[in-house]
A = this chain, B = another copy of it.
């Protein structure tokens, strides 16, 4: 699956779900072009790995369950970004190299577009035909609701996140991993009949992936010589360098084991590609990062990422 195909499907659904009105433009601005599209790519790669025949049948049908899920996951992700950037939240001004939605269109416009995309993610799910649709929706709404992603946002903004490494990891699990879990496990739910053992493994796999994703991202954020106050406050590598190092190495190793066991060829390729990109961000800045960590060597993490991305 290539990114332009994913974006084309997003465009199709935007056109159908939005009113024919000038105000709809904000939705395109907030969702396209779509960044890395990591989550929709995971939806498709898991389907291809688990059920190649269904993948072939689904990929060119914008109304297939997986087209709907891939779009719903990305719309839901976009809503969290719009709301996270608002002045009362993270108060950001730039996103993906352009002004944040509320900077470009105004604050109430961005707030409502976020609400709109949140609604649209469920609207897309409600158009699915398979018999596991409601099961998927229960998982989706639990993982992304007040016990899931939203609780992660609360832990972050209330500064509870930074009180211990455990709290940081819990926040990463809720705020970052849950949406990745919805992409992976959600895709698996729609790919075949119930298989509790596989789904349990995919739960662990996607949970670890989400946490690693965020920890490696945290590490790469230290590439700048001068860090923002926010970065200084929330980055676990600065506060618990040794423990964070240990947790990351263990999580990467456990994830590696599970990857081999599950043998998800296509999905593992996407993740390798991602780790390769992260490594290429980290490598040229190794000494800058190590300075922030009081010279602690990050070489072992880099070697692990390298072994993954080969």
Contacts and interface: CB of A to CB of B under 8 A. Distances in A.
Secondary structure call for the A interface? helix
Task: Sort chain A's interface into a size bin.
Answer: 35 or more
Nearest to A139: B126
A141 interface: yes
B144 A134 contact: no
B118 A141 contact: no
B133 A17 contact: no
| Most chain B Cβ neighbours within 10 Å, of A109, A142, A146 | A146
A19 B141 CA distance: 14
B123 A154 contact: no
B119 A119 contact: no
A17 B147 contact: yes
Interface of A: 17-19, 21, 23-24, 27, 79, 83, 86, 88-89, 107-109, 111-112, 114-116, 118-120, 122-123, 125-128, 133-134, 137-138, 140-142, 144-147, 150-151, 153-154, 157-158
A-B pairs, 4 with minimum CB distance? A123-B141, A126-B137, A88-B107, A116-B146
